[in-house]
């Protein structure tokens, strides 16, 4: 699998976790109780898999090589995508802080948690769309086979820095998050009717 296909596969996983974030926001707003560990797992996934691994691959290797092939760093789409990566990092900080507060007082003010979840579910689908339908088709035209091999080698370095078998561990974590989010509120009549 080439580096573009690898990033596309990661997008699919990220999109499913972001979908679970939307489900959790709806269920929290409806008064359902959500285990703090589920939210902490989501923070870990977003911080390491999305922020360090996925965005790291894009920014350190793909974007830089595209720039060396003439794609302007301050133009479309690279500047917009970098800005969205920064926005995602800011939203993750807000989400992490809100999860910490929720963990301490789950019956407290849910507004910061709901706002952070909503921000993530607003940002990532459009961001992924821009990469899938603008960045990646352009990359396929601009980057040679040798360029793509160079990018793939860089991707391996990032994964080695994060830890061995990072992909499988985070695929498993994502599957647990998605499954657990779907079960929130089952058996609680209030949650089932309110969502």
Is the separation of the CB atoms in 29 and 187 below 8 Å? no
User: Distance between CA atoms of 144 and 158, rounded to whole angstroms?
Assistant: 21
Q: What is the mean pLDDT of residues 1-29?
A: 96
Q: Which pair of structure tokens corresponds to residue 85?
A: 């990566």
pLDDT digits (tens, 9 = 90+) for 92-128: 999 999 999 999 987 788 999 999 999 999 999 999 9
pTM: 0.94
**Predicted pLDDT at 166:** 82
**Predicted pLDDT at 195:** 41
User: Distance between CA atoms of 153 and 157, rounded to whole angstroms?
Assistant: 6
Which pLDDT band, with edges at 50, 70 and 90, does 76 fall under? Answer: confident
Residue predicted with more confidence, 31 or 131: 131
Query: What CATH class has 3-194?
Result: mainly alpha
Asked whether the predicted pLDDT for residue 164 surpasses 80, the reply is no
Percent of the chain at pLDDT above 90?
Answer: 83
User: Distance between CA atoms of 108 and 64, rounded to whole angstroms?
Assistant: 44
Which pLDDT band, with edges at 50, 70 and 90, does 194 fall under? Answer: very low
Asked whether the predicted pLDDT for residue 83 surpasses 70, the reply is yes
Q: What is the mean pLDDT of residues 52-70?
A: 96
Which pLDDT band, with edges at 50, 70 and 90, does 190 fall under? Answer: low
Task: Give how far Cα 77 sits from Cα of 12, 72, 141, 183, Å.
Answer: 20, 9, 15, 38
pLDDT digits (tens, 9 = 90+) for 131-157: 999 999 999 999 999 999 999 999 999
Q: Which pair of structure tokens corresponds to residue 73?
A: 């760093």
Question: Where exactly are the structural domains of the chain?
Answer: 3-194
Residue in the block written with tokens 């939203």: 91
């Amino acid at each position: 699998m080439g580096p573009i296909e690898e990033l596309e596969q990661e997008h699919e996983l990220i999109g499913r976790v972001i979908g679970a974030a939307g489900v959790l926001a709806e269920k929290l707003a409806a008064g359902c109780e959500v285990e703090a560990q589920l939210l902490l797992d989501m923070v870990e996934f977003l911080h390491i898999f999305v922020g360090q691994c996925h965005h790291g691959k894009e920014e350190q290797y793909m974007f830089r090589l595209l720039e060396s092939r003439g794609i302007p760093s301050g133009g479309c789409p690279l500047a917009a995508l970098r800005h969205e990566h920064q926005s995602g990092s800011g939203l993750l900080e807000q989400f992490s802080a809100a999860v910490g507060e929720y963990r301490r007082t789950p019956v407290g003010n849910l507004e910061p948690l709901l706002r952070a979840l909503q921000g993530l579910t607003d940002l990532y689908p459009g961001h992924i769309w821009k990469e899938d339908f603008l960045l990646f088709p352009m990359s396929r035209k601009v980057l040679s086979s040798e360029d793509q091999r160079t990018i793939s080698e860089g991707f391996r370095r990032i994964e080695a820095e994060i830890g061995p078998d990072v992909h499988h561990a985070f695929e498993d974590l994502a599957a647990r998050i998605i499954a657990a989010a779907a079960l929130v509120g089952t058996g609680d009549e209030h949650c089932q009717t309110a969502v």
